[in-house]
Amino acid sequence: MASAVAQVTAVTALNLRTVPSRLGPSMVIVIGIAGVVGVLVALLAMAEGFRATLSSTGRADRVLVLRGGANDELSSVIYRSQVPTIEQAPGIRKDAAGKPIAAAEVFMLTSLPRRGATDPTNVVVRGTQPNVLTVRPEVHIVEGRMFNSGMREIMVGRGAAAEFEGLTVGNSVAVRGDGWKVVGIFESGGNVHESEIWTDTEAIMSAANRGAPTSVIAQLESESQLQPFKDFLTKDPSMTVDVLSEPKYYASRSKMLSNLINGLGYFVAVVMAIGALFGALNTMYAAVSTRSVEIATLRALGFGAAPVVVSIMIEAIVLALIGGVLGALISYVLFNGYTISTLNGQTFSQVAFDFRVTPSLLIQGVVWAAVIGLFGGLFPALRAARMPVAEALRAG
């Protein structure tokens, strides 16, 4: 056993020492696999970033009340007459003045071009109440001030301010009719609200000729109040509403797109991995055939077949791992934190999000590299082991 290990070490060391003299072919493995891993990690990081942005929105003890059967805020309507019942339902936390911490909101879309572009994109306009900073304490104004109720004033999320034309404090934009003045910019911990425009519910509803809000958001006393709160509202015959905790709602709104991007990522990576595998096979077969004399000499000296196989596979895997780490690093350097904005088909609105190259994605990339290296080395190694010693020596 000890001698087998010594043999493997000796042959592997020999192989790896000769890599620099075969730099070109070895680079085939490294670069081919770096490409696979880079693309895989980048696409998965995109899906992960999108998912994280939506699922980090909201708190488990906060609920969203939608019309029963509505998939999302855009398709929901809550009648004005239903709002007081919801706000008075048991389980909602009260503020210092004894008022429920809840807000009726209206979710609408408007069109604004991206910075430097002319084509309009769907941007969320959320009409909300003056107490919104109490309802969503994670929101902080970073520039300017809150909108005043009843006024054509808006405050915009940091992401929206960066992404869309004209959203700077002091500027006016057309939201529903002209002249909506940007009075502030807020941040919200990088979640989906940062892609939105916020204004006063009454102001936007009158400008849009709209009679009813879309939803009510409420802070519960605790997460355990969710069920009683829900039961109270769903048992009331005058209400047909769905009650969802915020994390559940936002996670469901990211499912389609993040699954799609994940699927695309794995599909492309599998196809590319097959391509890289052929490249690796080429290189390793060439490596074996140019070294046939050396290998035969070792065998003649009494080295076993197993150390030869193992050493060649180690060489392939080491090269593959270098490629994998390289690809993962490139993708980390290029894409981690890279912000893009796309249309979320499930809410019909633009969401800006950052790519997130997480440690687990990096590890996944390197594992893929190792697997490609394993198969790329296996067959050439077997051929090397089966090579008749005498013939190989004579041919040299």
Applying CB under 8 A, the residues found at the interface with another protein are: 24-25, 27-28, 31-32, 34-36, 38-39, 42-43, 46, 67-72, 74-75, 77, 108-111, 114, 117, 119-122, 174-176, 208-209, 212, 240, 268, 271-272, 274-276, 278-279, 281-283, 285-286, 340-343, 348, 350
Task: Determine how many CB atoms are found less than 10 A away from the CB of residue 388.
Answer: 11
Q: What's phi and psi for 60, nearest 5 deg?
A: -65, -25
Give the nearer residue to another protein in terms of CB position, either 13 or 343: 343
Nearest approach, Cβ of residue 294 and another protein (Å): 19
Minimum Å gap between C-beta 48 and another protein is 15
Whichever of 113 and 247 has its CB closer to another protein, that residue is 113
The answer to whether 152 and 203 are in contact (CB under 8 A) is yes
What is the closest distance, in whole angstroms, from the C-beta atom of residue 254 to another protein in the complex?
13
In the complex, minimum distance from the CB of residue 248 to another protein, in angstroms, rounded to a whole number: 14
Would you tell me how many other CB atoms lie within 10 Å of the CB of residue 99? 12
Tell the smallest beta-carbon distance from residue 380 to another protein (Å): 10
Q: How far is CA 217 from CA 35, 107, 196, 254, 333, in A?
A: 46, 12, 16, 19, 39
Closer Cβ to another protein, 76 or 128, answer by number:
76
Residue 147 to residue 153: CA distance in whole angstroms: 5
* 24 or 98: CB nearest another protein: 24
Q: Which is nearer to another protein, 35 or 377 (CB)?
A: 35
Tell me the one-letter amino acid at 222: S
Smallest gap from Cβ 306 to another protein, in A, equals 24
Region label for 50, one of left (φ > 0), alpha (ψ between -120 and 50) or beta (otherwise):
alpha
Closer CB to another protein, 12 or 110, in the complex = 110
- Report residue 323 CA to chain centroid gap: 23
CA–CA gap between residue 292 and residue 80 (Å, rounded): 84
CB of 225 to another protein, least distance (A): 26
Q: How far apart are CA 67 and CA 214, in angstroms?
A: 8
CA distance 134 to 98: 13
Q: Is the Cβ of residue 61 or residue 196 nearer to another protein in the bound state?
A: 196
Inter-axis angle of helices 23-55 and 255-290, to 10 degrees?
170
1 vs 240: CA distance, rounded Å: 74
- Dihedral pair phi/psi, residue 188, rounded to 5°: -145, 40
- Give the list of residues 6+ apart from residue 213 with CB closer than 8 angstroms, or none: 77, 78, 80, 83, 104, 105, 106, 127, 201, 205
- Shortest CB 117 distance to another protein, Å: 8
Q: How far is the CB of 374 from another protein (least distance, A)?
A: 17
Residue 16 vs 285, nearer CB to another protein: 285
- Give the whole-angstrom CA distance, residue 354 versus residue 344: 14
> Residue 120 or residue 396: which is nearer to another protein going by CB?
120
Residue whose CB is less far from another protein, 16 or 109: 109
Quote the least distance from Cβ 111 to another protein, whole Å: 6
In the numeric block, which tokens belong to residue 118? 């002319």
The answer to whether residues 90 and 230 touch, using CB atoms and an 8 Å cutoff, is no
CB of 323 within 8 A of CB of 369? yes
